[in-house]
Amino acid sequence: MNRFIGMLVGLLAAPAAAQQPPADVQMAAAVLAAPEDRRAGATVLGYDASGKVITLRAGTNDLICLADNPAVEGFNVACYHKDLEPFMARGRELTAQGVTEDKVRDQTRWKEIEAGTLKIPRQPRMLYVLTGKTFDPATGTVAGAYERWVVYVPFATAAELGMGTKPTENEPWLMDQGTAGAHIMISPPRPRPQP
């Protein structure tokens, strides 16, 4: 699961060298990770021609959605509560500085949170992730779509929440318990390949 979080941070930070889709396509794909009733009001971040993360659309609700980075293989979009943006932005910054090991990047941010130089909300906050093979803008669908959910619960422990700490499919579990990055992972069963 650390690899999953690392992939997400890579998505959030990897420089884009590939051709960027138009802004409307990036936005249509990005909001697919959000609950349907939250999509229209979400802020959408995407990529400009140089691969820099930019705001494609200012939102009216509490969600930020990040478009797929075409420089990274596969399809991966995420939406998260706006209070998580400092944490996410710092992850992108560290990756851009060459900090590519998940553990090092995470521990750096956790230390900064504990020192008070990086803010993360103490109340639970959501992250929605949608991955797949490709996005078809004509149909608005993702080939091989797979959704996962993460609830950030900084400093929470398994004993406080009454949940397990082992990766399981179709059952929530607590990852990185007791740290500033503690979060509940919810990973449903993956779809079976079609014959």
pLDDT digits (tens, 9 = 90+) for 51-89: 889 999 999 999 999 999 888 899 999 999 999 999 999
> What pLDDT is recorded for position 20?
84
Number of H helices, E strands in the chain: 5, 10
**Whole-structure pTM value:** 0.86
Residue linked to tokens 């008070």: 116
With helix as H, strand as E and coil as C, how does 59-112 read? CCCCEEEECCCCCCCCEEEEEEEHHHHHHHHHHHHHHHCCCCCHHHHHHHHHHH
Instruction: Give domain limits for the chain.
Output: 2-149
Opening angle at CA 121, ends 46 and 97, nearest 5: 50
pLDDT tens digit string along 107-116?
999 999 999 9
Q: How far apart are CA 166 and CA 175, in angstroms?
A: 8
Asked whether 40 and 57 are in contact (CB, 8 A), the reply is no
Whether residue 172 has pLDDT greater than 70: yes
Whether the predicted pLDDT of 15 surpasses 70: no
User: With bands split at pLDDT 50, 70 and 90, how would you rate the model's confidence at 39?
Assistant: very high
DSSP 164: -
